[in-house]
Amino acid sequence: MLYCSTTSIHPSILKTLTPHHNQLNPSKSKPSKSLRQEITTRIKCFNSRIQKKSEPRDYYEVLGVSTDSTSQQIKEAYRRLQKQHHPDIAGDRGHEYTLLLNEAYSALMREDFRRKYGGGGGGGGGGGKRREGFGSNFSGMGYSSWNGPVRPQALFVDENRCIGCRECAHNASETFMMDEDLGCARVRVQFGDSEKKIEVSVDSCPMNCIHWVESEELPLLEFLIRPQPKEAHGVFGGGWERPADVFAAAKYLQKQLKQQQEQKQSPTGQAHAEVETPAQAEARYQAGLKLQWRQFHEMWGWITGLLGRETS
Amino acid sequence: MAEQFYTVASDSETTGEDKAQTPLPNLAIGIDIGTSKCSVAVWNGTQVELLRNTRNQKLMRSYVMFKDDLPSGGVSEETAHDEKDILSGSAIFNMKRLIGRMDTDQVVHASKTLPFLIQTLDIGVRPFIAALVNNVWRATTPEEVLAIFLLELKGMAEMHLKCPIRNAVLTIPVSFSRFQHTRIERACAMAGLHVLRLMPEPTSVALLYAQQQQQLLHENMGSGCEKVALIFNMGAGYCDVAVTATAGGVSQIKALLGCPVGGEDILQNVLRHLLPNLDSFCADHSIEKIKSMGLLRIATQDAIHKLSRGQNVHINVDLADGTKVSRTLDQPEFEKVNEMVFEQCENLIKQCLLDAKLTAEDINDVILVGGCSNIPRIRSLVLGLCKKEEPYKDIEPLEAAVHGAALEGAIALGISDPSGSLDLLTIQATPLSLGIRADGDTFVPIIHRNTAIPARKEVVFTTSQDNQTEALIAVYEGEGMSVVENHLLGFFKVTGIPPASKGTAEISVCMDIDAANVLRVLAGVLMPGGKRALPPFIEVRMPTLDHGHGWCGQALVKLYGTALDLATIPKKMQR
């Protein structure tokens, strides 16, 4: 360090510290800026020079985060991946990948810094389109209302199987109703009639499509059984759809929602500590490939050098 | 070198045959070689254990006594040498302040008041160091002294663990140059130790902090979010500051900075205050003078310790030649004498926060470690700068560094712990910038300081002369704008540049630092358009230089002038 062991004898090392650092800081940002540009353009070592310039998008992929993720998410992803691939843990084979991680992280944090302080903002931020999964507009509210207190069990009509016989609505008219448009029965009020009436109506269903379900699952099932508008592509598609097996769909959606919630609750993201996204796997593979390539390259250089010497 | 001298004596003594057959255990010890005190720790399978010597000490005074034929560090001896013996001129201590330093170095010059002999010729070579043996000054080197001491520490650890030990993680000051790293490695090799990692002291404290935070999380007491800690470590020889961000057992070093100022400087300042003609008093190194200096040193040290608790202290020492030091030293006087030291500490912290792009408000915890952290002024200064009332409590100031080193040793060897207390990682950062000489004497950094390790950066340079076919790559380390302010690590020549007008050829210089902090520099010529095959690149592991580096740079300039110089590529020409 400049103030500890320079060759020049400087009795006033103490004095030099302050002015030096003050001098150092603005200058640090100045030449490094040009260098930084150089680094991003020629970022890879010569062995991979042919590779085109790294896009911000690639950096996001390396860390396995979406382009609209916050700096907190980037940090978490970085730490998680470091913990798997750092040479201290993964051995020497983690070297190349960790290099990539460090590079991506510093670039993204820089970008984040810029975005935060109102600089460019165009650097890949906000462009990410979050894929809307099935059930993304699920509100958590059920369709049916409750007559009296909420009980652990609730009634649910699998409308896919209902043939519209009206038996249930006839036997327990306060509980069930008919959806004339779709031609099937539906629960309007849970326990709207006496238990006996309900029992009769459940038994009377020729398709056995009236189910006792857990009250917790009810809102999800009722949401899923409502036909959702289908995405249209010109004349194709469009219309309405609902899952063929509503119970399986509910189970799946439940799991997804739970995961989302967990992610929200645990900012360390430990729930997915072991998962590697395909992009990460790809990046890692590429990093490995680069390493092999370098060896080949060195070999090639050596051979050409040898040949050159022989011919001359 | 006399490496065969340093065979482990304890190996053959205790069940040597069994050991030869069994493979070396997967074990690494952590060693904290302090300027004044040393300690050894090991991961014993469930936790870190500090090893004690036969006198039941965890912290051992670092010195090597050259009294008899066999030099000894007194680690495992039944009776310790007392401080008077150590200051008699026969013992060498403060190795850490001397190792890898040239005789032009300010720190070496400041060490001349020590009781053993230090001669400097001020030409940029290793200083001459000697200990008094039977009234003869016997020369030695800091590396040798350190090796003897490490050997004893190793022997002690082997006795405890009942198996041979090869691997070690050593803690070092942040401000150590790469050349000093090689000297430490050399001393370790002489002692039969393989250096797994050289860990800057505050980063090893940071690892311990990360483990503690992780444990709090497991006990559902801490929050899972990121914690930022400022670690201030000031021992007898060095002062280091680091800022670490910790989450999920990963300690990410945001910035680190250090300088060679410590308790020794404080002691020297007070000595000079008490005895203004200190340098001339110590100059002749007569036995009487050494003796009375020793007395004064002990008394002063004692006084400084007492000042950590009380407001004033009386010093009364009778020096042999009729001079008598008898006076009262009070707190304000002590602080005034050491104003420069405190100022330096303050600047380090400010700069480190600046480097980490953080302010005092971002800091969650302030960790004070090292012997000097007991000085009231230092405590108030650090806490004041970080706007905190109290420092972090759960860290033992004198044992934290070795604790972290033992953890790092276990992690680097891939030992896993079922309870998850080894589920840790330190992401280290480079404490100093690395770059090459270009555009005359300008230092052009390639890897900037506080870059996360492992790191790799490539920068393309060009020629500075027409039809230049060779270029000199001179690698420097430091923060100075000009290369002369920085440390020369090594140099080599890139040949086979196609003759062209200046500024057209492209010479690529790539620096690569791996997780063990090994620096490799790769350089070669890039062919325009990639038409012709590339001539082979040159890969050099740095540093390649021994001491006397100041000469090499000057000699190169003298011999070649600017003929082999490199230039940076102007910004507008870069794509």
- Which residue of chain B is at minimal alpha-carbon distance from A298? B536
Cβ neighbors of B453 (< 8 A, separation 6 or more) are A102, B427, B428, B429, B430, B513, B514, B515, B517
Q: Looking at residue B284, what is its pLDDT?
A: 80
Does the residue B414 lie in any domain?
no
Q: Quick check: A232 contacting B, CB < 8 Å?
A: no
Give the span between the Cα atoms of B303 and B85, in whole angstroms.
Answer: 20
Is residue A295 within 8 angstroms of chain B, CB to CB? no
| Partners of residue B481 in chain A, C-beta under 8 Å | 23-24, 27
Strand partners, B50: B41
Based on the domain organization, do B13 and B47 belong to the same domain? Answer: yes
SS (HEC) of A175-216: CEEEECCCCEEEECEECCCCHHHHHHHHHHCCCCCEEEEECC
Residues B94, B183 within the same domain = yes
Look at residue B407 and tell me if it is in a domain. Answer: no
Q: Are residues B184 and B321 in the same domain?
A: no
Task: Quote the DSSP letter at residue B485.
Answer: G
Q: How many CB pairs under 8 A join A and B?
A: 189
Q: Which residues of B are less than 8 Å from A32 in CB distance?
A: 445, 448
- DSSP β-ladder status, B167-172 and B28-33: parallel
Task: Number of helices (H) and strands (E) in chain B: give both, helices first.
Answer: 16, 27
Domain A145-231, what fold?
Answer: Alpha-Beta Plaits (3.30.70)
Q: Which of B428, B370, B430, B363 minimizes the C-alpha distance to B395?
A: B370
Residues of chain A with pLDDT under 50: 1-54, 117-136, 266-275, 310-312
Shared-domain flag, residues B86 and B96: yes
The reply to whether residue A268 touches residue B444, judged by beta carbons under 8 angstroms, is: no
The answer to whether the CB of B358 falls within 8 A of the CB of B391 is: no
Beta-carbon contacts of B294 under 8 Å, excluding residues fewer than 6 positions away, are B83, B84, B87, B88, B115
pLDDT at B57: 87
Written as one string, the DSSP assignment of B159-222 is HHHTS---EEEEEE-TT--HHHHHHHHHHHHHTT-EEEEEEEHHHHHHHHHHHHHHHHHHTT-S
pLDDT at A43: 32
Look at residue B382 and tell me if it is in a domain: yes
Mutate to test the interface with A, among B101, B341, B427, B450 (most CBs of A within 10 A): B427
B424 belongs to a structural domain? no
Q: How far A205 CA lies from chain B's nearest CA (Å)? A: 52
With CB atoms and an 8 Å threshold, state whether A35 touches B432: no
Instruction: Decide: B94 and B149 in contact? Cβ < 8 Å.
Output: no
Residues of A in contact with B351 (CB under 8 A): 21
* C-beta separation of B259 from B175 below 8 A: yes
Query: What total of structural domains would you count in chain B?
Result: 4
Q: End-to-end CA distance of chain A: give it in Å, rounded.
A: 47
- Verify whether the Cβ–Cβ distance B481 to A305 is below 8 Å: no
Closest C-alpha among A12, A14, A8, A11 to residue B104: A8
The answer on B345 and B438 residing in a single domain is no
Nearest CA in chain A to B550: A7
Residue A86: Cβ within 10 Å count: 26
Other beta carbons less than 10 A from residue B368's beta carbon: 22
Q: What is the CA radius of gyration of chain B?
A: 25
CATH of the domain at B112: 3.30.420.40
Residue partners of A137: CB distance under 8 A and separation at least 6 = none
SS3 A101: helix
**Crossing angle of helices B339-355/A13-41, nearest 10°?**
10
Q: What's the complex ipTM? A: 0.83
Backbone angles phi, psi at A265, to 5 degrees: -75, -40
**Owning domain of residue B452:** 434-573
Residue B419 lies in a domain: no
Interchain pair A302, B536: CB under 8 A: yes
Flag if A87 and B574 touch (Cβ within 8 Å): no
Cα–Cα distance for residue pair B233/B397, rounded to 1 Å: 9
In chain A, the residue whose alpha carbon lies closest to the alpha carbon of B122 is A9
Residue where one domain finishes, among candidates B177, B198, B219: B198
What is the C-alpha separation between B451 and B431, in angstroms, rounded? Answer: 8
What is the dihedral angle through the alpha carbons of B100, B101, B102, B106, rounded to the nearest 10 degrees?
A: 180
Q: B429 in a domain, yes or no?
A: no
Least CB–CB distance from A304: residue in B248, B530, B533? B533
The three-state (H, E, C) secondary structure of A117-158, written as one string = CCCCCCCCCCCCCCCCCCCCCCCCCCCCEECCCCCCEEEEEC
If asked whether residues B171 and B210 sit together in one domain, one would say no
Residue B176: closest CA among chain A residues belongs to which residue?
A1
Q: Within this chain, do residues B227 and B153 fall inside the same structural domain, yes or no?
A: no
Q: Pull the structure tokens for residue A207.
A: 């398709």
* Chain B positions in Cβ-Cβ contact with residue A305 (cut-off 8 Å): 535-536
Instruction: Provide CATH code, domain A49-126+277-304.
Output: 1.10.287.110
- DSSP letters along B331-398, please? HHHHHHHTHHHHHHHHHHHHHHHHHTT--GGG--EEEEESGGGGSHHHHHHHHHHTT-SS---SS-TT
d(CA B74, CA B226): 44
Query: DSSP string covering A226-251, please?
Result: S-EEPPEETTEE-SEE--SSHHHHHH
The C-alpha atoms of residue B308 and residue B331 are separated, in whole angstroms, by 9
Residues B63 and B165 in one domain: yes
CATH code of the domain covering residue B500 = 2.60.34.10
For each of chain B's 575 residues, which pLDDT tens digit applies?
334 444 444 443 444 344 444 556 778 999 999 898 999 999 988 889 999 988 888 899 899 998 877 788 877 777 777 888 888 888 999 999 999 898 888 899 989 889 999 999 888 888 999 999 888 999 999 999 999 999 999 999 999 999 999 999 999 999 999 999 999 999 999 999 999 999 999 999 999 999 998 888 877 665 567 899 999 999 999 999 999 999 888 999 999 999 999 999 999 999 999 988 888 888 888 888 888 888 899 999 999 999 988 888 998 888 877 778 888 999 999 999 999 999 999 999 999 999 998 999 999 999 999 999 989 999 999 999 999 999 999 899 999 999 999 999 998 888 888 777 888 899 999 999 999 999 888 999 999 999 998 999 999 999 999 999 899 999 999 999 998 888 889 999 998 888 888 888 889 999 999 988 999 999 988 876 665 666 788 999 988 876 656 678 888 888 988 888 888 887 544 44
Q: How many other C-beta atoms lie within 10 A of the C-beta of residue B390?
A: 9
User: What are the sequence ranges of the domains in chain A?
Assistant: 1-41, 49-126+277-304, 145-231
* Partner B, chain A 250-289, Cβ-Cβ below 8 Å: 266-268, 270
Which among A39, A94, A102 has the least Cβ separation from residue B452? A102
Do B230 and B356 fall into the same domain?
yes
What is the model's pLDDT at position A234? 58
Of B504, B508, B390, which is closest to residue B446 (Cα–Cα)? B508
Contacts with B318 (C-beta within 8 Å, 6 or more apart), sequence order: B292, B295, B324
H-helix or E-strand spanning residue A292? helix A278-311
Smallest Cα distance from B510 to chain A, Å:
6
First-to-final CA distance of chain B: 52
Tokens found for residue B186: 């050399």
Q: Do domains A49-126+277-304 and A145-231 have the same CATH topology?
A: no
> Which of B408, B449, B458 is the best substitution to test chain A (most A C-beta atoms within 10 A)?
B458
Residues forming beta bridges with residue A154, ordered by sequence position = A213
Closest alpha carbon within chain A to B217: A268
Q: Which of B259, B408, B455 sits opposite A3 (nearest CB)?
A: B259
By DSSP bridging, strand A210-214 and strand A236-237 are unpaired
Query: Which alpha helices (DSSP H) does A43-119 contain, by range?
Result: 56-63, 71-85, 87-90, 95-116
Whether residues B454 and A91 touch (CB distance < 8 A) is answered with no
Dump pLDDT digits (tens) for A195-241. Answer: 888 888 888 888 888 888 888 778 788 877 877 766 666 566 566 67
The pLDDT of residue B548: 54
How far is A227 from chain B, CA to nearest CA, in Å? Answer: 41
A101 contacts A82 by C-beta, under 8 angstroms = yes
Cβ contacts (< 8 Å) between B107 and chain A: which residues?
4-5
Q: Which of residues 426-485 of B touch A (CB under 8 A)?
A: 426-427, 431-432, 444-446, 448, 451-460, 478-481, 484-485
Cα separations in angstroms, B114 against A11, A106, B275, B536: 18, 46, 14, 51
What is the C-alpha to C-alpha distance for residues A246 and A222, in angstroms, rounded to an integer?
Answer: 9
B contacts of A75 (beta carbons < 8 Å): 226, 247
Contacts of B200 in chain A (CB under 8 A): none
Q: Last residue of a domain, which of B337, B355, B381?
A: B337
Is the residue at B267 inside a domain? yes
- Using CA atoms, how far apart are residues B344 and B340, in angstroms rounded to an integer? 6
In a domain, B171, yes or no: yes
Which candidate, A218, A206, A210, A141, places its Cα nearest to that of A175? A210
- A-facing residues of B in 345-364 (CB < 8 A) are 347, 351, 354, 357
According to the model, what pLDDT value does residue B542 have? 87
Which residue among A24, A83, A87 sits closest to B515, beta carbon to beta carbon? A87
CB contact under 8 Å between A5 and B101, yes or no, is: yes
